[in-house]
Structure 1
Amino acid sequence: MAATVATVLVTYNRLHLLAVCLAALFDQTRPPDRIILVDNASTDGTAEWLRAGGYINDPRIDYLRLAENLGGAGGFHAGVCHGLNGGYDWLWLMDDDACPDPSALAQLLACQPRPPHLYSSVAIALDDPQRRLCWPAMAVSGGSRLKYSGELTEPLLEVAALTFLGLFAHRHAVEQIGLPDAEMFLAGDDIDYCERARRMGARLFLVTGSVLNHPLPGRRTIALLGRQFDNLLLPPWKRYYDVRNRIVIARRHYGRRLWTETIPGLLIRLIDCLYHDPDRWHQMHAYLQGFWDGFGGRLGARRRPP
């Protein structure tokens, strides 16, 4: 029997992007068998728009409206759980700002994926003539840091980490790894998931023919002592989760690298924020609270969008 695929799509207050993403999913040459649409309690008219357009009763969509905003991590936790209970063979995860190429899902299936390994589409910067990768990929073979789609010369590229922007996982792998950690709320839940997968013997692969178009995240690149550090341009409430969850992930998975890599990297990014950001004191407070809660193991939704 042919494998069944459910797309887990998480949205929050980005109706204009959600409409584009849904249209792209409906336009797949091999459409997903079901779209599990997780609405993180949007307040921008998302539910009303879906109802008016007939999407809520569309047999291609399972609409899950959460009672409160549980963040991206909570949304993926709920969606993946629903997909497992629905019995689908494969789950394809993405946010509402992804716009998959028409053949994106077909390309994932054509690479003959098999559990327990994890696979992913490639997120390429939207309308970018340089075709930069939204998240640079660290190749396992050779350790090179790839930043442009032209550098992806193999159909399957084994990498050090994947994001929930196009992650493709078989139900058997998810049953072994478990669900995404909802308590992380935002940022890093995908990295934590990849590290948990490694412990179960999984390898991580980019499927270079499967493309998602996605806005390029704002970042500054810091060159220091022969290394490069990316500092994402984040408002203070998001910065808190980025800092806290980096520490939580390092404490869970990296051993002494917490002290030799994670903490020095965060201090370099803090100095960069204090030098460049106009809201530097709010950024400083976010860093301090992130450090405090990261080492104290205080997870969950501790800061909300303004």
Structure 2
Amino acid sequence: MNFQKVAAVIVTYNRKELLQQALDSIKNQTYKVNQIFVVNNNSNDGTKEYLDSLEDIVVIHMKENLGGAGGFHYGVKAAAESANDFIWIMDDDAIASAEALSELMKASNKLNDDKISWGFLCSKVMNDLKEPMNLPVISKKISESGYPRWSKYIENSIVEVDKSTFVSVLVKKEIVRKLGLPIKEMFIWGDDTEYTWRISNKYPCFFVGNSQIIHRRMNGKSLSIILEDSAVRLPWYSLLIRNNTYNFKKHGNRLETLKYFLINILLCLKILIKAKDRKIYRVWIQLKGMMKSFTFNPKIKFPD
């Protein structure tokens, strides 16, 4: 395997113990990570002091919590301006198996051998019970035969995908420099979908089944404004709707955008029927996100 330099980028906020586990898993990779960038989103749980005690990582302390989107924007920017070839984007609660990066690099070599100019590679993500989480979206792109081409490398546990989450995504630095950085204005939810979708619209991208990650997310359930019981997270659903609508408008088509808009209108009715409490407040959050989506149009920024 030809050695190429990989920079890992992690964004963290008030999850010091999980962050320690994530960093340990990165440092123990069989394919050694060349440099680790950690963006601390103004944590107040001792994370700053812990990170400042480490000498083998690059720490970027934010003065305020910019959300995952803001953190990844600045982390990927720093990595793209460094002397590395690849950027491995990771969550602070993602525990990588020892071979996770090695398998991504093996997949890279396989695709390179076939002269495939790929955009990103993502890992298989599971919870502690080995149940699937954060599943990527299988590509709908069509081969010359007229059939979907996602299964071309299935015997190598490689599947073509169009969208992924930032739990474990490997991207070439040259791609970042060409297509820009994650959108910091999204704050949270949908920024990873936008970024990976942006890349897959230009380059084929792949899920690598042999690269495995345990995602120790505190809330392992899928997002639902009807069931959400966190007073902190509930207002963020307006950002989810705004960001996802932007994603469909920017990278999808009119039919997909209209369908998503109608789904959110119907969701307002479901909230009134199924939500246990704060029904009017939840509907207001939905409508707020839909209204914001009409004017939300952030500018893509690039590394220096």
Q: Distance in 2 between matches of 1:282 and 1:158?
A: 40
Aligned residues of 2:67 and 2:188 also touching (Cα < 8 A): yes
Select 1:87's aligned residue among 83, 89, 92: 83
The whole-number CA distance in structure 1 between the counterparts of 2:249 and 2:89 is: 26
Alignment match, 1:165: 167
**One-letter amino acid of the counterpart of residue 176, structure 1:** K
Q: Secondary structure at the match of 2:134?
A: strand
RMSD: 2.8
* 8 Å CA contact retained: 2:136, 2:161: no
Q: Could you tell me which residue of structure 2 aligns to residue 294 of structure 1? A: 293
> Following the alignment from structure 2 to structure 1, what is the Cα–Cα distance between the partners of residues 297 and 187?
12
1:138 maps to 138
Distance verdict in 2 for CA 1:162–1:67, change over 3 Å: same
Match of 1:107 in 2: 103
Give the CA deviation at 1:279.
3.1
> 1:153: Cα distance to partner?
6.6
Name the CA distance, whole Å, in 1 between partners of 2:221 and 2:280: 20
Aligned 1:148-187 pairs, distance under 5 A: 154-187=156-189
Which residue is 1:7 aligned to? 8
Structure 2 CA distance, aligned partners of 1:117 and 1:5? 15
Find the residue that maps to 2:196 and give its secondary structure: helix
CA distance in 2, matches of 1:256, 1:67: 39
What letter corresponds to residue 28 of structure 1 in structure 2? Q
Q: 2:10 touches 2:37 (CA, 8 Å); kept in 1?
A: yes
Aligned partners of 1:125 and 1:134 also within 8 Å: no
Residue type of the partner of 2:105?
L
Measure how far apart 1:299 and its partner are.
6.4
Structure 1 counterpart of 2:248: 250
Paired residue secondary structure (1:86): coil
1:33 match: 34
Q: Distance in 1 between matches of 2:282 and 2:193?
A: 23
Query: How far, CA to CA, are the matches of 2:47 and 2:227 in structure 1?
Result: 28
Q: Which residue of structure 2 aligns with residue 71 of structure 1?
A: 67
Q: Identity percentage over the alignment?
A: 28
Structure 2 unmatched ranges of 5 or more: 142-146, 149-153, 300-304
Q: Is the 8 A contact 1:236 1:282 kept in 2?
A: no
* Letter paired with 1:257: L
* Letter matched to residue 80 of structure 2: L
Amino acid at match of 2:188: L
Q: Verify: 1:17 aligned to 2:18, yes or no.
A: yes
Corresponding residue for residue 302 of structure 2: none
TM alignment of 1:118-133, pairs within 5 A = 118-128=120-130, 131-133=131-133
Quick check: 2:242–2:292 contact (8 Å CA) kept in 1?
A: yes
1:281 aligns with 2:280: yes
Q: Report the CA distance between 1:167 and its aligned residue.
A: 0.9
* 8 Å Cα contact 1:218-1:232 kept in structure 2: no
- Kindly indicate whether the alpha-carbon contact (under 8 Å) linking 1:162 and 1:204 is maintained by their aligned counterparts in 2: no
AA paired with 1:22? L
Instruction: Return closer, same or farther for 1:276/1:232 CA change in 2, 3 Å cut-off.
Output: closer
Structure 1 range deviating more: 232-241 or 2-11:
232-241
What letter is aligned with 1:270?
C
